[in-house]
A and B are shown apart, each in its own frame.
Chain A
Amino acid sequence: MTKTLTAQHLVEVNNLKQYFDINTGFFRSKSLKAVDGVSFNIQEGETLGLVGESGCGKTTVGRSILHLYEPTDGEIWYKGKEIKTEKDVAGFRQQATMVFQDPYSSLNPRMTVADIIGEPLDVHKLTSSKKERKERILDLMDKVGLNSEHAARYAHEFSGGQRQRIGIARALAVNPDFMVCDEPVSALDVSIQAQVINMFEELQDELGLTYLFIAHDLLVVRHISDRIAVMYLGKLVEMSSANEIYDHPLHPYSKSLISAVPVPDPRIARASQRIVLKGEIPSPLNIPSGCGFRTRCPYAIECCAESVPELEEVHEGHFVACHRVDEIN
């Protein structure tokens, strides 16, 4: 991908690598390549969906962007400025926040809702008086549809959907421009999930937010995203607009992933041809040579084991990393 910086790119990720050292024995360790050379950018006001199966590195990408992990290598640019030093990171975190997957473990059980939402305000010293702090908290609760009379309650007194609203209010407290949403609805029931998805969309319209929306539920991702990036074993394999990737997936992994999604429509489900992949995702400690997907790919040939396919633009805005993309489509 080109490194030119244009004004609309709110976030640019260039060749991000995140390795973890895993102890494999006495004085021995091995590098786990959770994210291995991922590049993408997100435009202002856009929602980029990041999908993939467990262990593909999608959560790590989100966390590395916010410097919750110190990236092993690569650059993260925000509003045309590289985030590098500790000072950059501190400033960046006032503009970029995160919503976590599990609404049960991501809220401190010993804090009241008001204090949970107010904590970012205290950390970044965003309010000057107690009154202002309180007003801001009540305003945030109102924004996410929580009854402001419940500010003094504890997290356990709320249902899963309401807890996720608390987590979102906390993420909104610093008035961010960019939000990393890490599986924010996957722990919720379908009827509640729809409420929270609608809220994400309303907040985006109202506040002009930009989202990196990480999820494994492809129906949800398709609904909320403008563009979608598909990850497999620490690498991006395909990236395109949401409709394009659903209607014309080009990478064999995206094809099988999309065809594997159970459609909630019996006639379509009966008629559809599923591409059922053989085998399972290899361990990120033993990534196959060449293309990471070749061990499960029905189209793999010799050259797939030899070199790693680069993410290339096959037509406008549609990027694919596959040696045989032209032959198999």
Chain B
Amino acid sequence: MALLEIRDLHTSFFTDAGEVKAVNGLTLDLEYGKVLGIVGESGSGKSVTAYSIMQILAPTGKIVSGSIKFDGQELIGLSEKEMRKIRGQRISIIFQDPMTSLNPVYTIGHQLREAIELHTDYHGKAAQDRAIELLRLVNVNDPEKRIKQYPYEFSGGMRQRVMIAMALACEPDILIADEPTTALDVTIQAQILELMISLQNEIGMSIIMITHDLGVVAQMCDEVVVMYAGEICEQGTADEIYYNPHHEYTKGLLNSIPTVATTGNKLKPISGTPIDLLNMPAGCPFAPRCDQAMKICIKQHAPEMKINDDHIAYCWVNVREGVADGSIVLSDPEDIQPQNEVLVHD
């Protein structure tokens, strides 16, 4: 049994313009002690997945259906009181923007102590000592002095360290990092990523790393999930996803990044624009931008296909190419014909 098992998760936002299906049938597993990367572009549902696990969705957001099992316990349907025992204590989250995640009118020490006193048995002096110990753990110099300072006295990288310290206060089983280094410069990003790897080795927690940066994923993650328009495209080990991608979107994404090999050559971008989540097509959401799209793609979602023991994908092309396991057969030969209709996009 995996530490975290998400099955067919649907999370929607009910807005004035209609229902936005931000996460649409997501299934994934997170193993003990592993780093799982969730990659995708804006609007792919990667952050909403994290917020659904923590149940900290905005008021218009709602988990419509599905199951999130953490350590054998179903999280969906838990009361707020029960959820609080898990949130912060067993699953922690750090956010993208370290500038706004801290309260500007309280000292760093106050905010750290609050987290410690709320979730652990440390109080008063003991909580203060624990806060200093945590700051030292995340390599903040001179923690006895820094603990009395306010967030504005900390730089972006230092604030993110404080956020990590706070998230680690209860030694959680899972740390969810939602774009933790996107707001930081590259050299500071390198410091934070190095810190996260060393803490993971030390504490042995699992990490869910949510990012749009395929470089960060390559450096950090054992397992990778690729998302597009609220749906999972494929999941596999990092090596499988980077060297043996089996979804047209993943291939397009990898081809879009400038590398040594592209110097002097043209990049191969994905054509078209991201999909409008209010008007989702019946079939694969990537079909309107996919140059391999077939007739079946616009009619029907691709089912889960096992590529090998370390890799599953959701793309009809695998059936056409005969790489998916034999249980999925298309009866109508018309289905694998290329689809030539121009689908809506500008």
Contacts and interface: CB of A to CB of B under 8 A. Distances in A.
A61 to B, nearest CB: 17
B344 interface: no
Contacts of B268: 194
A147 B345 CA distance: 11
B242 interface: yes
Contact of A222 (B215, B263, B274): B263
A274 interface: yes
Contacts of B346: 147, 150, 162
A198 B266 contact: yes
B190 interface: yes
A280 B269 contact: no
A261 B239 CA distance: 19
A222 B259 CA distance: 8
B74 interface: no
A318 interface: no
Interface in B207-242: 212-219, 238-239, 242
B218 A53 contact: no
B193 A262 contact: yes
A201 B266 CA distance: 8
B120 interface: no
Contacts of A189: 41-42, 212, 274
B258 interface: yes
A314 interface: no
A247 B218 CA distance: 21
Given A197-B267, A260-B189, A265 B273 contact: no
B186 A257 contact: yes
Interface in B242-262: 242-243, 252-260, 262
Contacts of A147: 346
A273 to B, nearest CB: 12
Interface residues of A, number: 46
Contacts of A159: 273-274
A142 B158 CA distance: 46
Question: Secondary structure of the B side of the interface?
Answer: helix
A31 B242 CA distance: 49
A204 interface: no
Which of B188, B217, B255 counts the most chain A CB atoms within 10 A?
B188
Contact of B213 (A198, A262, A267): A262
B145 to A, nearest CB: 16
B48 to A, nearest CB: 16
Nearest to B267: A194
Given A53-B187, A256-B187, A262 B215 contact: yes
A195 interface: yes
B157 interface: yes
Interface string A189-227: 111111101100100000000000000101110111000
Contacts of B188: 53, 280
A189 B189 CA distance: 19
A257 B238 CA distance: 24
Nearest to A265: B218
A261 B186 contact: yes
Contact of A190 (B41, B185, B191): B41
- In the complex, the 4 A-B pairs of residues with the closest C-beta atoms, listed nearest first: A262-B215, A223-B258, A194-B269, A189-B41
16 contacts: A53-B188, A161-B273, A190-B41, A190-B257, A191-B252, A192-B269, A194-B255, A194-B267, A223-B263, A242-B263, A246-B260, A257-B187, A261-B186, A262-B218, A263-B259, A274-B190
